[in-house]
Amino acid sequence: MAVEENRRLQFLFAYLGTAYDEALLAPGERTMNKSELIEALAEKTNMPIREAGSITNALIDTMSEALAKGDSIEIRGFGSFVVKEYGSYTGRNPKTGEKIKVSPKKLPFFKVGKDLREQVNRKGKKKKTAKK
């Protein structure tokens, strides 16, 4: 009986356009994807989704190009994106145990800003009001 009920729920969620697995996740366990970000931007700014998509793509492309050149990006209160350089080192192949040389690499890194960190840590707590 439980299997049949599970199939009915899966069908219902598929029909409604909601992923069954996502619907079972608790708040804070979901991941917003790019299309959901575009929809949220369009809704908040009352602009067409196509225009919000163009803006989102332009922003991501511009940030990616800057990081590829080695530039840093700082958005006050949100955080900063930097490129960290890692030197070469000797590693091991996990399957064979053979020593291998890992070449140097650069990786993008995000450092969260103070305002964003505080907002995430509040998690629905009421804002503290200043006492007079």
Residue 110, domain CATH: 4.10.520.10
- Look at the chain and report how many structural domains it folds into: 1
Predicted TM-score (pTM) of the model is 0.65
Neighbours of 100 (CB within 10 A): 11
User: Is residue 53 included in any domain, yes or no?
Assistant: no
pLDDT digits (tens, 9 = 90+) for 69-86: 999 999 999 999 999 999
pLDDT digits (tens, 9 = 90+) for 39-67: 999 999 999 999 999 999 999 999 999 99
Q: Enter the tokens of residue 123.
A: 């998690």
Determine what percent of the chain is predicted with pLDDT higher than 70: 72
The answer, yes or no, to whether residue 105 has pLDDT greater than 70, is yes
Per the model's pLDDT, the better-predicted residue between 130 and 39 turns out to be 39
User: Is residue 29 included in any domain, yes or no?
Assistant: no
DSSP one-letter string for 7-65 = HHHHHHHHHHT--HHHHTSPTTS----HHHHHHHHHHHHT--HHHHHHHHHHHHHHHHH
Q: Is residue 42 a contact partner of residue 56, using CB atoms and an 8 Å limit?
A: no
